[in-house]
Chains A and B, each alone.
Chain A
Amino acid sequence: MPDSKPLSLRIPEPGCRPGDQPDFSDFVVPRAGEARRPDTDASPEDMRDMAFSIIRVINKKGEAVGPWADTLSVENLRDGLRHMLTLRAFDERMLKAQRQGKTSFYMQHLGEEAVACAFRMALEEGDMNFPTYRQAGLLIAGGYPLVDMMNQIYSNAEDPLKGRQLPIMYSSREHGFFTISGNLGTQFIQAVGWGMASAIAGDTRIASAWIGDGATSESDFYAAMVFASTYNAPVILNIVNNQWAISTFQGFARGNAVTFAERGHGFGIPSLRVDGNDYLAVHAVAKWAADRARAGLGPTLIEHVTYRAGGHSTSDDPSAYRSKDEFSAWPLGDPIDRLKRHLITLGEWSEERHTQALAEITETVRTAQKKAEAIGTLISGSHPSPRSMFDDVYAEMPPHLVAQRQAGGY
């Protein structure tokens, strides 16, 4: 008989479940301003420490401190606050519209608004994002019309995607927003290919890849990492670590064993970890990575540390698997509150201005909603013709599709 005990599996468990008191005491929050800022041409080996800490700019007093604090003007910050408020107001109304049965589905960004909104501001015209379903901030900060977003959500006659896609699977080439797919991780490697193409063509444009913490377990995450590194592709590889993949905590993607940023080291990719609820930090890190990519210095991996405050989607009830109080205990706070406080600290904002801005934004979103709903929602108004579902399968409709369209009576 061998002298061995029976083996057993580890099944990771999150720190707290429904009814438990949230406890983030193990989560180390470095002080704002503490992280160093390497030169963009620094070698990956000389900045390995950056993957273990968190780059933060806004401190507890609302001041912007440290070497990452200088990338945005006050005007930029006010715009950023407006973008985040707009996204949150948009989410609220679309969530409600789904509950009212005006559309089939919605996914909100609550608590993650800074990530995409701040990132977008570091990009230039012509750059291309390969987003997941939780980066609508890229569209809002990029000036994409709210009415078009809602038309897509309602699948009405003005839906830019002609009713073919599930709500929120937006697409806008013009706004550097690649068509969203329901299949997780697929776009991460496509972004690398887009960046490679830009390099092959001798272009100056760069690509941004997006993935969540859970989807880093998908094979295409590794495909993207090895291709980006091998070809020194001009791409920013963004991991949005919001702690949760539907009901599965990040431990199942091994988020508690090592940081997500650390995974870049295995491929020789410089990797930064940033406070995803700190608008200034996200922007500064994005700018650093964009400068690096544009200078031909290759890919950067960024782990945005944040928290998914809302349900995964309108089909999800998070109270079934996590504590209701988790977001209020989350050490990195609320991105909107933090930027607002910073602007007030600077003397460039006030509670009055905030209330007024919020009222204006709410009105803008409401007006857009009325406009979209006047065209149609999923259950009322006008919709794309069934005839159009046969279009765009191929550039030119092959005979068998023409026959099917006719057989269907369209």
Chain B
Amino acid sequence: MARMTMIEAIRSAHDLAMQRDEKVVVFGEDVGYFGGVFRCTAGLQEKYGKHRCFDAPINESGIVGAAIGMAAYGLKPVVEIQFADYVYPAYDQIVSEAARMRHRSAGQFTCPMVIRMPTGGGIFGGQTHSQSPEALFTHVSGVKVVVPSSPYDARGLLLSAIEDPDPVIFLEPKRLYNGPFDGHHDRPVTAWKKHPLGEVPEDYDTIPLGKASVRRKGSDVTVLAYGTMVYVAEAAADETGIDAEIIDLRSLMPLDVEAITASVQKTGRCVIVHEATRTSGFGAELSATVQESCFYHLEAPILRVAGWDTPYPHAQEWAYFPGPERVAAALKDVMEA
């Protein structure tokens, strides 16, 4: 085992995958020589050469489109979109091409690739460095969507994503790159090296896609969360004293409906938490799923705590970000209902 930040864990996953499979090719804006604006690919070009890890022109559709061509050839591209906020120019390539290639060609052409992108707010990133666009991908048949919340998970899930025969959207909460964050922005931040989840295996070890992880056992209420919100939910549970069971979904598509159902049927209550805007966010899908599969076990309406339906603001960062106070209020509400 070794101590790693999420950045180091992601870099380590790249390193192991590239070592293991010469078909793995890594590229994106500033990814090659410089090693990425967040350092997630640092040292890879030096170690594996310019043919395996290289810089790309500033064109997201080009990056994803070229990667699709490479995947169709038989390589395994792992590409980076510098911020999830900048994935939109590539949306046509992801939705119309990567997602449908296997289906429309009846399996003649496939698209084994990973599109990594830093996501989420809580960093004073303003409108275009804070968004959480996961619902734009979970709505697309043919892609998988993964959001890790710790170095341990990031490494194992990224290795699985690279192995996976289908296109995977890999959303990395940049707020968690250097340490966990529970939303208490006025308190000092812990580094991953002081957190148990900063301890990761050094050898090749994967975490299966489509499996949630129960982060905190509890009997009062089920909290469904992913990314940064896992730590926010933990803080809210601790601070309210409510015995919440916190499920880190890890994969949004495929979704671990079994784990969700088992938990809500046990607790009878459910709170869903995500940073993304509320309306038509992934929370709506989760809420509908819980309602359908746990209706007779529910003792209270399902609640959602989410970003407001506004663009992500700058100065109003902490009024926007669904912090522990808002989650705590929802936990109390659901217990009183």
* Chain A residues packing against B (C-beta within 8 Å): 128, 130, 160-162, 164-165, 169, 171-173, 178-179, 181-183, 186, 189-201, 207, 219-220, 222-224, 226-227, 230, 391-396, 398-400
Q: Please give, as numbers and ranges, the residues of chain A lying within 8 Å of B144 by CB-CB distance.
A: 394
B254/A164 in contact, CB under 8 A = no
B109/A189 in contact, CB under 8 A = no
Q: Please give, as numbers and ranges, the residues of chain A lying within 8 Å of B164 by CB-CB distance.
A: 395
A179/B51 in contact, CB under 8 A = no
A164/B73 in contact, CB under 8 A = no
Shortest 8 CB-CB contacts between residues of A and residues of B: A193-B69, A193-B66, A223-B62, A189-B65, A197-B73, A190-B69, A179-B105, A194-B69
- Per-position 1/0 for B176-199, Cβ under 8 A of A: 000000000000000000000000
The verdict on B165 contacting chain A, using a C-beta distance below 8 Å, is yes
Which residue on A lies nearest to B89, using beta carbons?
A219
A186 to B73, CA, bound (A): 16
A251 to B257, CA, bound (A): 54
The contact size tier of chain B is 35 or more
CB B104 to nearest CB in A, in angstroms, measures 6
Q: Please give, as numbers and ranges, the residues of chain B lying within 8 Å of A193 by CB-CB distance.
A: 65-70, 72-73, 77
Interchain CB contact (< 8 A) of A181 among B97, B141, B165, B254 = B97
Which residue on B lies nearest to A226, using beta carbons?
B57
B51/A400 in contact, CB under 8 A = no
A266 to B104, CA, bound (A): 35
Q: List 15 A-B contacts (CB under 8 A).
A: A169-B104, A171-B109, A173-B109, A182-B96, A189-B69, A190-B65, A193-B67, A193-B77, A199-B51, A200-B25, A201-B73, A220-B93, A230-B57, A392-B107, A394-B142
A86 to B87, CA, bound (A): 44
Which residue on A lies nearest to B25, using beta carbons?
A200
A392/B106 in contact, CB under 8 A = yes
The verdict on B47 contacting chain A, using a C-beta distance below 8 Å, is no
Q: Please give, as numbers and ranges, the residues of chain A lying within 8 Å of B107 by CB-CB distance.
A: 392
A199 to B51, CA, bound (A): 9
CB B306 to nearest CB in A, in angstroms, measures 22
Q: Please give, as numbers and ranges, the residues of chain B lying within 8 Å of A191 by CB-CB distance.
A: 69
Q: Please give, as numbers and ranges, the residues of chain A lying within 8 Å of B51 by CB-CB distance.
A: 199-200
B72/A194 in contact, CB under 8 A = yes
A222 to B97, CA, bound (A): 18
A196 to B51, CA, bound (A): 9
Residue with the greatest number of chain B CB neighbours at <10 A, chosen from A165, A172, A179, A395: A179
Q: Please give, as numbers and ranges, the residues of chain B lying within 8 Å of A179 by CB-CB distance.
A: 101, 104-105, 108-109
- Extra A-B contacts (5), CB below 8 Å, given A186-B92, A199-B51: A171-B105, A183-B96, A191-B69, A392-B106, A398-B210
B65/A171 in contact, CB under 8 A = no
Known: A186-B97, A190-B69. A400 touches B106 (CB 8 A): no
- Per-position 1/0 for B52-84, Cβ under 8 A of A: 100011010110011111101111010000000
Q: Please give, as numbers and ranges, the residues of chain B lying within 8 Å of A220 by CB-CB distance.
A: 61-62, 65, 92-93
Q: Please give, as numbers and ranges, the residues of chain B lying within 8 Å of A201 by CB-CB distance.
A: 73-75
* Chain B residues packing against A (C-beta within 8 Å): 25, 51-52, 56-57, 59, 61-62, 65-70, 72-75, 77, 89, 92-93, 96-97, 100-110, 141-142, 144, 164-166, 210, 253-255, 257
Q: Please give, as numbers and ranges, the residues of chain B lying within 8 Å of A189 by CB-CB distance.
A: 61-62, 65-66, 69, 93
Known: A164-B104, A186-B97, A227-B57. A398 touches B65 (CB 8 A): no
CB B231 to nearest CB in A, in angstroms, measures 28
Interchain CB contact (< 8 A) of A399 among B101, B103, B141, B257 = B257
Residue with the greatest number of chain A CB neighbours at <10 A, chosen from B65, B96, B254, B257: B65
Q: Please give, as numbers and ranges, the residues of chain A lying within 8 Å of B72 by CB-CB distance.
A: 128, 178, 190, 193-194
CB B154 to nearest CB in A, in angstroms, measures 22
A220 to B64, CA, bound (A): 11
A393/B102 in contact, CB under 8 A = yes
B65/A186 in contact, CB under 8 A = yes
Known: A193-B69, A194-B69, A399-B254. A173 touches B61 (CB 8 A): no
Which residue on A lies nearest to B57, using beta carbons?
A226
Q: Please give, as numbers and ranges, the residues of chain A lying within 8 Å of B66 by CB-CB distance.
A: 189-190, 192-193, 196, 223, 227
B105/A400 in contact, CB under 8 A = no
Residue with the greatest number of chain A CB neighbours at <10 A, chosen from B51, B66, B102: B66
Interchain CB contact (< 8 A) of A171 among B69, B77, B104, B254 = B104
A183/B210 in contact, CB under 8 A = no
Known: A191-B69, A207-B69. A400 touches B254 (CB 8 A): yes
Residue with the greatest number of chain A CB neighbours at <10 A, chosen from B25, B100, B103, B142: B103
Q: Please give, as numbers and ranges, the residues of chain A lying within 8 Å of B103 by CB-CB distance.
A: 164, 391-393
B59/A223 in contact, CB under 8 A = yes
Known: A197-B75, A201-B75. A400 touches B165 (CB 8 A): no
A75 to B110, CA, bound (A): 38
Known: A186-B92, A392-B103. A130 touches B69 (CB 8 A): yes
CB A182 to nearest CB in B, in angstroms, measures 8
Residue with the greatest number of chain B CB neighbours at <10 A, chosen from A182, A220, A223, A395: A223
Q: Please give, as numbers and ranges, the residues of chain A lying within 8 Å of B52 by CB-CB distance.
A: 200
CB A194 to nearest CB in B, in angstroms, measures 4
A178/B106 in contact, CB under 8 A = no
CB B187 to nearest CB in A, in angstroms, measures 40
Q: Please give, as numbers and ranges, the residues of chain A lying within 8 Å of B77 by CB-CB distance.
A: 193
Q: Please give, as numbers and ranges, the residues of chain B lying within 8 Å of A395 by CB-CB distance.
A: 102, 110, 164-166
CB B294 to nearest CB in A, in angstroms, measures 16
Known: A161-B105, A197-B74. A393 touches B142 (CB 8 A): yes
A181/B96 in contact, CB under 8 A = yes
CB B336 to nearest CB in A, in angstroms, measures 33
CB A6 to nearest CB in B, in angstroms, measures 35
CB A183 to nearest CB in B, in angstroms, measures 4
A223 to B58, CA, bound (A): 9
CB A123 to nearest CB in B, in angstroms, measures 16
A398 to B67, CA, bound (A): 24
A134 to B104, CA, bound (A): 18
A222 to B253, CA, bound (A): 32
CB B286 to nearest CB in A, in angstroms, measures 13
A399 to B165, CA, bound (A): 17
Q: Please give, as numbers and ranges, the residues of chain A lying within 8 Å of B70 by CB-CB distance.
A: 193-194, 196-197, 200
Q: Please give, as numbers and ranges, the residues of chain A lying within 8 Å of B166 by CB-CB distance.
A: 394-395
Q: Please give, as numbers and ranges, the residues of chain B lying within 8 Å of A183 by CB-CB distance.
A: 92, 96-97
A219 to B92, CA, bound (A): 11
A392/B102 in contact, CB under 8 A = yes
Q: Please give, as numbers and ranges, the residues of chain A lying within 8 Å of B68 by CB-CB distance.
A: 190, 193
B73/A178 in contact, CB under 8 A = no
A396 to B100, CA, bound (A): 14
B254/A398 in contact, CB under 8 A = yes
A151 to B90, CA, bound (A): 33
